[in-house]
C-alpha cells in the first residue's frame, strides 16, 4: 500500500453519512442563527415603538408613538 491508500477510506459510506449529518446540523444552525437575528430586530423595533407618558404622580403608561409601524396598528 502506497501513500494513496487513504483515498478509498475517504470515500467510505461512514464518511458520507458523517458529511450528511454535518450538513443537516449546519442547516439547523444557520436557521437558528437567522431566527435569533430576526427576533432581535423585531423585538427592538417593537420596543422602540413605545414611549412612557406620565399619567399621575409616580406612574406612567406605555403608549404607541405616533407614526410607529406595528403589526395590527391600524390607526
The reported pLDDT for the residue numbered 1 is 47
Domain map of the chain by residue range?
3-64
Model pTM score: 0.52
Is pLDDT above 60 for 10?
A: no
Q: Is 51 helix (H, G, I), strand (E, B) or coil?
A: strand
The 10s digit of each residue's pLDDT in 16-69 is 888 899 999 999 999 999 999 999 998 888 887 777 677 766 666 666 666 666
For 18, residues 6+ apart whose C-beta sits below 8 A from its C-beta are none
User: Can you tell me which residue has the cell 407618558?
Assistant: 53
Higher pLDDT: 1 or 49? It is 49
For 54, residues 6+ apart whose C-beta sits below 8 A from its C-beta are 60
Q: End-to-end distance of the chain based on CA atoms, in angstroms?
A: 78
63: Cα within 13 Å, side-chain hemisphere: 10
Amino acid at each position: 500500500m502506497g501513500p494513496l491508500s487513504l483515498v478509498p477510506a475517504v470515500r467510505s459510506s461512514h464518511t458520507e453519512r458523517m458529511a450528511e449529518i454535518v450538513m443537516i446540523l449546519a442547516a439547523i444552525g444557520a436557521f437558528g442563527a437567522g431566527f435569533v437575528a430576526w427576533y432581535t430586530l423585531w423585538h427592538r423595533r417593537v420596543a422602540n415603538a413605545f414611549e412612557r407618558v406620565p399619567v399621575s404622580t409616580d406612574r406612567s403608561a406605555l403608549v404607541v408613538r405616533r407614526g410607529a409601524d406595528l403589526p395590527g396598528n391600524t390607526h
